[in-house]
Structure 1
Amino acid sequence: MSSEKTTADATARLSGAAFWGHDGKALADFYAAALGWKVTQTYGDTAAMISDGTTGYVFYTAKDFRAPDWPADELVFHLELACDDVAATEELLLSLGATKPDHQPGGERWTVLLDPSGQPFCISARG
Structure 2
Amino acid sequence: MIGELQCVVLDCADGEVLSRFYAELLGGEVNRPDRRWAVGDGWSTLHTERGLVLAFQRVADHRPPRWPDPERPAQFHLDVDVPDLEAAQARVLELGAELLDAGEPARGWRVFADPAGHPFCLLGRPVTP
Structure 2 length-normalised TM: 0.44
Structure whose alpha-carbon radius of gyration is higher? 1
Larger relative strand fraction: 2
